[in-house]
Structure formats: C-alpha cells, structure tokens
Structure 1
Amino acid sequence: MNRVVEVLPDLEALIDRALAIVVDKLNTAVAERGIGTIALSGGSTPKPLYEKLAEQSLPWDKIHVFWGDERYVPADHPGSNQRMARLAWLDKVAIPASNIHPMATNESDPAISAQAHEAELQAFFQIKANEFPEFDVILLGIGDDAHTASLFPHTDALQVHDRLITVGSKDGQPRITFTAPLINHARSVIFMVAGASKQSALTQIFASVADDMTYPARLIHPSGELWWLLDQPAGQNLELKT
C-alpha cells in the first residue's frame, strides 16, 4: 500500500510536516520536469501552511497553482478558497499571474464553469479528452461527514468517472470540484486533518469495509503517494488496517 499515515503532536507540527513534503515535491518536480503543479484545498486547516509557503524561496516562475474545489461565489467573497490562498500566500510571492489557475465562478450555470476549467486543464497538461493529468501535489482535507474537495456524501459528483471537473453540491449550493479519478492520478495526495471532531469520519475512512458513497474520502486511492497527516486530537484513537 502506498499510504503513509502520520499522527503529529499538534497542528503546528502537522503544518511543518506538510510544508516539508510540499516543498520537497515541488522542488523535485521542477528539477525533473521543469514545472511543479499543486492543487490547493480550502478550509481553515491549510491556511497556516499557505502562510509558511509565502516565506519559502521556491522557483515561483516554474510553479503553477490550481484549486481542488471552489465555492460558487465571487473571487472576492469571504468564502472563496481562491481569496484565502491569495491573501495568505500568492499575493506575497513573485509568482506570475499566468501561473495561477482559479476556477471561474462567474457563469450563470456552474456546469459551464466546470466545462471551461476542464478545457483549461486539458490545454495546460496537453492531454486528450479521455486522459487525466498528473498533478505533482494535491492538498485535501476532510469534513466531519468524510467529504473531501466538494465530493459530498450521496451526491451526483461521486458518480462522475469520465470527467476532470464536475459540479458538487452542499446544502443545495453549487461548487466546482475535481472528480475522484482526477485526484487519483496525482503523484502525491496529501490529506491534512486536524481536530477531535474528525475522529468518527477517519474511523470509517480507514475501515476495512464501509460505504464509499457515505464516506467519500474513501474514494481517494491515488496511483502515486497518499499521505495522511493528522494532529493528535484527530488521530489518537485511530486503528489502522493494513
């Protein structure tokens, strides 16, 4: 199994570990392939990681930044994942504007935005309609309900296997999201999970048998590396099945 699970003492240690892995993966990608690609997650947990990335000396002109999902709100909305990452990180480093690839949220129909972002990925990675790109790093988190990206329990997005991007939904509100197959083609997927409220979800995600539609993070089993970085409150009671 290509899964690595690490339980860190606290959130600060989790962030430092994630930082070390991300910096290593991006530097390796640039050295080996000339560019590094990373897809970001939203939520509160990764924000301190982005703040620390802003302090790193990375080859920003060779790093391309994407998002794994986005709320269907304007880019300047307080709930925008793009806005959070720009304020915490991207606005503070010398990364070319053309290297930042947000999901557009300005169409009347989110399906149009999903199709447009899929076309952008196909053009950027130079892949055909039936192919999937290989991101160097995809950052993910989970909710208390075991969702990841905007792949929520028992939603249509979980059934999409032939697309890169689809429309997710939470409480009737649309979101744009990577599909599970796209995530699973990444070279490295890094889950960052903090807080005791995630224990129940983690138990089901790591269980030998459970329903993928009820616990969507179970759908993530990349061909590359799979890192689970947990703080002590999240991971202290977790029993891992090998």
Structure 2
Amino acid sequence: MKKLIEVLPDKTALIERSLSLTLEKITTAIEQRGQCTLALSGGSTPKPLYEALAQQPLPWEKIHIFWGDERYVPPDHPDSNQGMTRQAWLNHISIPAENIHPMPTASGDPTLDAQTHETELIQFFQVGIGQFPAFDVILLGMGDDGHTASLFPHTEALAVRDRLVTVGNKDGQPRLTFTIPLINQARCVIFVVAGENKRPALAEIMAEVSDEQAYPSRSIQPQGELWWLLDAAAGE
C-alpha cells in the first residue's frame, strides 16, 4: 500500500485537489483498462466535488458509477446518497443509464438488497464467488466518530470478511455498505475530509496503535494507493 497525506489550506482547495486527483485516476484507468469503475461517498463534503465533475468533458460512456454505501431510503428521499449525486452531477451529463449502478433499497429487506447488489458486482466484474473485484477509485468520507462508508464503530458490519456488500447500522437504521475487504481491494482509495470536528478521530486513525473497532477508518488499507486529502481545519 502507498499512503499519501495532503493538507490543503481550506475547503475550496480541498475540493480542487480532490477534483484533480479524481480526474487523474479516471484518465489513467481508461488509458490502462478501457474504462473506469468509480465508487462514491455520500454526505455534504463531496457535493461540490460532484458539481465540479459535472462540468468536465469526460468520456462518460467509459465510466461506471457505484456507491460505497447507501441509506436504506428511496432514491428520491432527501437522505439518499444516490439522489444527491444525481442532482449534483449525474442528471447533468450524458452518461448511459446502464453505467449507473445504485444500491437497491426497495425490497423492504436490507439483507436481500445487499445480496442483490453483491450479485450485480460479481456479474459486472466477472469475478468468482469468494473473490473481491478491484475498483479503480473509491471515494470515502469520514465521520467525526471515525466511521467511513456505513462501517460504524463497534458494529457487526466491521467483522464481515466474506461478502462484498453487507448491512451497516447507524442508531438502529439499516444501511447498505461495501465491506472492508472490498474497499481494500481497490486500486485507489481517496478520503476527502473537512472540518475541525474530525481532528480527534484523525489522530486515532493516524496513530501508530489504536482500535480499529472504535475507529473503523483505520481498517482501510487498500492494496493500491491510499490518499488522505484534508483541509487545514481537519489536518493541521
């Protein structure tokens, strides 16, 4: 694993750097493999990044969009990661509908929907049962509790090592989430983190020794590159 940490002066600079790095990784993936598989994070921090990506003249037919986690709500719900991304970005570009791979949330059974999405990933990447596909880029955020995707401290999802997608739990609310081994198979993972409230958790995550159960983002150790892009408030 190659770990790189950059602290940007403010949130504007953080988004600009996130954009340039994401574009670089998309371009490299398309040059090397003919397409790019990109998994997105939710939350407020990446929204301006998605708005900026909507302005880029990219070969959208060669880019496949996934999400690293999703709240268990319909796509038109205000809390939906998919919904936010479509409004900020995907509705404004000419990307083929079949290149967008949202997590299903409609069956009423989160476990069943997690299995359905796992099957889609296995078929899309053409990997065998028990194998983990390698995403080109996975964008992640981090909560002030140290969680990432929907991998929350001291929850059952942290222990899942034999699935690609599982059910996370936030205060009793189910969410779908990539598992730790799936994220760690990625060629490039980019954390985009802003805000002074993230500092205590970041200190634990960057420490020589700490508890991965308490700070799940510590568990993200991809086989490729690991980027931490921080604004000065988070990373000074």
TM over 0.5: yes
**Which residue of structure 2 aligns with residue 10 of structure 1?**
10
User: RMSD of aligned C-alpha atoms?
Assistant: 0.6
**Which residue of structure 2 aligns with residue 182 of structure 1?**
182
Counterpart Cα distance in 2 of 1:108 and 1:82 = 18
Counterpart Cα distance in 2 of 1:108 and 1:135 = 28
Q: Percent identity?
A: 64
**Which residue of structure 2 aligns with residue 219 of structure 1?**
219
**Which residue of structure 1 aligns with residue 60 of structure 2?**
60
Counterpart Cα distance in 1 of 2:31 and 2:212 = 37
**Which residue of structure 1 aligns with residue 112 of structure 2?**
112
Amino acid at match of 1:34: G
**Which residue of structure 2 aligns with residue 202 of structure 1?**
202
**Which residue of structure 2 aligns with residue 21 of structure 1?**
21
Amino acid at match of 2:132: F
Is 1:158 matched up with 2:158? yes
Amino acid at match of 2:168: G
Following superposition, the deviation at residue 212 of structure 1 comes to 0.4
The superposition leaves residues 148-183 of structure 1 with CA deviations (integer Å, 9 ceiling, x where unpaired) of: 000000000000001100000000000000000000
Following superposition, the deviation at residue 107 of structure 1 comes to 1.1
Following superposition, the deviation at residue 27 of structure 1 comes to 1.1
**Which residue of structure 2 aligns with residue 92 of structure 1?**
92
Amino acid at match of 2:22: V
Following superposition, the deviation at residue 43 of structure 1 comes to 0.4
How many residues are aligned here?
236
TM-score between the two structures when normalised by the length of structure 2: 0.99
Following superposition, the deviation at residue 9 of structure 1 comes to 0.2
Following superposition, the deviation at residue 108 of structure 1 comes to 1.6
Amino acid at match of 1:69: D
Following superposition, the deviation at residue 93 of structure 1 comes to 0.4
5+ long unaligned stretches in structure 1:
237-242
Amino acid at match of 1:89: W
Counterpart Cα distance in 1 of 2:6 and 2:22 = 15
Amino acid at match of 2:146: A
5+ long unaligned stretches in structure 2:
none
The superposition leaves residues 199-233 of structure 1 with CA deviations (integer Å, 9 ceiling, x where unpaired) of: 00000000111110000000000010000000000
TM-score between the two structures when normalised by the length of structure 1: 0.97
Counterpart Cα distance in 2 of 1:110 and 1:127 = 23
